[in-house]
Structure 1
């Protein structure tokens, strides 16, 4: 029987990073199937690449947001957002923030200050899980700004997204900008003059900077993955110790 491996297991077997796995997937060197939001790979094919039989990792228990070390992630996210000059937030897979939003621009603060606007933002963030390309790809949010996500996976399971954006990739058309701001103002009951003033401060980033942000975004998310995976494994070992202690108590 051909077992299916997680991306993390393939990384360990081939001794490559996650970006390489997805690059191999994209250029056809490695075949995979998507199960829900997760990629799975043929152990037989990986075995052929290795020239032998891979040692399949032991099944792991389902992971949850509890494994995210938010007290460590927040300051790293803050620094990343300030250096990259973008807004950033970590959300669950349904777009609900699990960290504070870092370095948010005034325009987005106004949108997020509206209950309906914040719900629209979360819907936009949740849509990012449906992108087929596993690497960060910038797209437009509901308010017309650029944003992208990087996956945070623990033991092969997608548990969170690191999202950054809040900028223009090119200067907007002035007439379209006026109509967009008028529409946002009415939809979310925000003062139009305040929204217009805030929109004038939105950064316009060139392609070189956008490409750089994509790279940084992926690296920061990978760092969060490593820390969360270590924490998850430690929590698992502590649970095993606790279970063994209970078992021993029942025998004594």
Structure 2
């Protein structure tokens, strides 16, 4: 018995059309090898599919010359050039700093409208590590309503999660503000991150203070911007899906 099947034989066994067979190949649900200009498929892998199991269960892996995107699909990333532009406008209008991060706190964009106090801290390795730890801590919060938190430097920030098609994709964080004029001593922080205490205390005086009304509005604006990012992500995912569907219609090899 021939261990390699033609595309037509796979179609007959699985009762599928040619396009679906190639789609399964590209998604990694089928494995095969190129023989000249034509695809051949392992009989055992096809028979395993008929039994309702994964073809990888019989030890076959995708060949080196299989399509490069025959991998599990991952959430579509946000178009950062659009995200950055919207984030810049939002931060300027809200008079706060803003950044978009991954779900584990790694920055995806540059900080918009950052204050000098935070810029001094983030100019050092220790400061950047501390800031990202604060951002990462937000990912553990389960509440969907934006709530004000305190960062490692004593300033306030707030965040909104961004989900695309049910997949957590990013976080939009607005911060670098205070809620009252209670004196803060920046000397311990300055020593910890390696910044001149006098310069840091001076920069602290310039940090924006938001009253209750502005904090409420900030939470509303933040959610609206996050929803905008979700819509952008969904539209991009839909576009990529259409492009993949068009690609699936292309003939990968000559008819068997």
**TM > 0.5 fold call:** yes
User: How far apart in 2 are the matches of 1:125 and 1:246?
Assistant: 47
Q: 2:232 aligns with which of 194, 216, 227?
A: 227
Q: 2:111 aligns with which of 70, 85, 101?
A: 101
RMSD of Structure 2 on Structure 1 (CA): 1.5
Confirm whether residue 63 of structure 1 aligns to residue 68 of structure 2.
no
Q: 1:251 aligns with which of 237, 241, 255?
A: 255
- The aligned counterpart of 2:198 is 193
* Counterparts in 2 of 1:195 and 1:246: CA distance versus 1, 3 Å: farther
Runs of at least 5 residues in structure 2 that lack an aligned partner in the other structure: 1-71
User: How far apart in 2 are the matches of 1:106 and 1:92?
Assistant: 24
Confirm whether residue 207 of structure 1 aligns to residue 212 of structure 2.
yes
Runs of at least 5 residues in structure 1 that lack an aligned partner in the other structure: 1-59
Cα deviation digits, residues 69-99 of structure 1 (max 9, x gap): 1111111100100000000000001111111
Q: 1:170 aligns with which of 167, 170, 180?
A: 180
User: How far apart in 2 are the matches of 1:170 and 1:118?
Assistant: 25
Q: CA deviation at 1:250?
A: 4.5
Confirm whether residue 239 of structure 1 aligns to residue 244 of structure 2.
yes
Contact map agreement 2:162 2:171 (CA 8 A) in 1: yes
User: How far apart in 2 are the matches of 1:208 and 1:80?
Assistant: 17
Contact map agreement 2:76 2:237 (CA 8 A) in 1: no
TM-score, scaled to structure 1: 0.70
TM-score, scaled to structure 2: 0.69
